[in-house]
Amino acid sequence: MSKTRIGDQVGPYFGEYGGRFVPEPLIAALDQLDQVYSKARHDPEFLKELDMLHREYTGRPSVLTEATKFAAAVGDCRVFLKREDLNHTGSHKINNVMGQALLTKRMGKKRIIAETGAGQHGVASATAAAYFGLECVVYMGEVDTERQALNVARMRLLGAEVVAVRTGTRTLKDAINEAMRDWVANVDTTHYLLGTVAGPHPFPTMVRDFHSIIGKESKQQMLEATGRLPDAVIACVGGGSNAIGIFHEFFDDDVKLIGYEAAGDGIDTPMHSATISKGTPGVLHGARSYMLQDEDGQTSDSHSISAGLDYPGVGPEHAWLKDLGRAEYRGITDKQAMDAMALLSKTEGIIPAIETAHALAGIEQLAKEMPGANILVNLSGRGDKDMETAARYFELTGVNRTVGDE
């Protein structure tokens, strides 16, 4: 390995990926964000404030749970779950949201907008808005407002306005388009609280930094639990934030890094969201990265049972890691993910988000390739929001049996 550490890389470019492919009206806001964040990144006051929020509001550090029964059921390995599902609001998304909300205050802006797929980023944003007294508008594809109805209600209870997006495929991609349009019009008063490591610089670097606490904590916790580094670190990949968050601290260690993308009906069918495995380089939502597109450069529709992975783009740093060969990306079908969701629920009493289940589903194969491996998984979120989908999928509506008189 050369002396330059992969982990030291910051935007705007990750190799040939990244950049700022956005309309000029947004550049002033991106410059401002870049300046404010570049300062905050090294400002002890800012870091202290964020640390306090992590400890006293979010509930960090999140614990590490060894899943012995799940491991026994899938093969010859040890499985360690980094429990981001136990964070306030139920996923890793809050790490980034608290950081950006603090920056919003520093920039003197009073309104935040966010896109959301699974609704977890929307809920986290609505939560931060309530906590910090900000106005909050969340854009969500109409399809996702239906499959993640519980999270729509949560956002509204928290005081956010939820806007169903009816354009295009009516999923996460179109929610981002709509949020960008809102931002162009209201950039003076509004911060766009982007929820993943995609988008124009500085978002990929900044969002990664805010999630890198996941890897920092879990590295320490793995050393305490096993006396050594894990053999593999794995996570699901939608836009790529929870994966980068847990990978980053391990970039320059001798540890295998694997991201699991949604393969929908199958990676060789047209119905998937496996952006890195099956996509090609292009520009989407402000950055150059891998994306799903047709031969005309029109963005292709993505498909996944998981709203949070149903996205035809991915963060530019992942594209770079893939080309470098530093991380590997694999596809997991809807069925494999749902089976893994059920297995973790029954063996460990932990119901994961369907997004997260994509990472869990990869372990069986990995244990065959690396017998005896210690595998660290980012358990990025809990599955409450997915109960409607799971109930339909597993036919769980109603009770097993009834006793007593009518």
> Which of 353, 363, 366, 367 touches ligand PLP by CB under 6 A?
353
CA distances from 393 to 90, 146, 244 (A): 22, 15, 30
Structure tokens, 36: 């404010």
Nearer to ligand PLP, 180 or 314 (CB): 314
* Separation of CA 147 from chain center: 18
Residues numbered 229-248 forming contacts with ligand PLP, rule: CB under 6 A: 236-243
Nearer to ligand PLP, 176 or 187 (CB): 176
181 binds, among another protein, ligand PLP, none (CB under 5 to 8 A by kind): another protein
Rounded to whole angstroms, the Cα distance separating 154 from 89 reads 10
17-18/13-14 β-pairing: antiparallel
302 binds, among another protein, ligand PLP, none (CB under 5 to 8 A by kind): none
> Which of 11, 19, 75, 117 touches ligand PLP by CB under 6 A?
117
What residues act catalytically? 93, 115, 380
Torsion sign over Cα 197, 201, 203, 207: positive
Extended strands (E) in 310-372: 328-333
Nearer to another protein, 89 or 289 (CB): 289
Q: Show the binding pattern over residues 194-233: x = contacts ligand PLP (CB under 6 A), - = does not.
A: --x-------------------------------------
Name the closest residue to ligand PLP (Cβ). Answer: 381
Which residues are 173's β-sheet partners?
A: none
Nearer to another protein, 34 or 249 (CB): 34
Structure tokens, 124: 């986290």
CA distances from 153 to 103, 233, 263, 354, 402 (A): 27, 34, 29, 19, 30
> Which of 293, 356, 374, 389 touches ligand PLP by CB under 6 A?
356
Under rule CB under 6 A, residue 389 binds ligand PLP = no
Torsion sign over Cα 141, 142, 143, 144: positive
What's the order of all strands across the beta sheet hosting 135-141? 161-165, 135-141, 111-116, 190-192
Interacting residues with ligand PLP (CB under 6 A): 91, 117-118, 120-121, 196, 236-243, 308-309, 353, 355-356, 380-381
